[in-house]
Amino acid sequence: MSTSSKPNSDGPNTTAAKPPNSIILEEEIDPNYVPTENEVLEYATKLKPCKTTDNDEIFYFNFATGESTWDHPCDEFYRDLYRKEKNAKPPDFGENFGPNSG
């Protein structure tokens, strides 16, 4: 799922009020994309990307609960993945790998 900076003039069909000083962004949907089960569950939480009107910063607003966050819903997952990969031992290719093998 990706977002664009086009403002939504109609606003979402939700029960919570629009976040103050913000513009709700439209989503661009790739019809060929197949989301994972986790992505479907995450999207079901009603988080929508929004943009502040004073400095154009992106944040995420949950229209079901009225809560907002600056972090993208996937940020924690990718931070953890980065830490895991950074701390992983590099693969040992042995002596038969490299510019002098041959």
Domains of the chain, by residue range, sit at 2-87
The pTM of the full predicted model, rounded to 2 decimals, is 0.42
Confidence of residue 51 (pLDDT cuts 50, 70, 90): very high
Distance CA 75, CA 49 (A): 14
Distance CA 97, CA 48 (A): 48
Following DSSP, what letter does each residue of 10-56 receive, concatenated? Answer: S--S-SSPPPTTEEEEEEE--TT----HHHHHHHTT-EEEEEETTT-
Report residue 85 CA to chain centroid gap. 20
Confidence of residue 62 (pLDDT cuts 50, 70, 90): confident
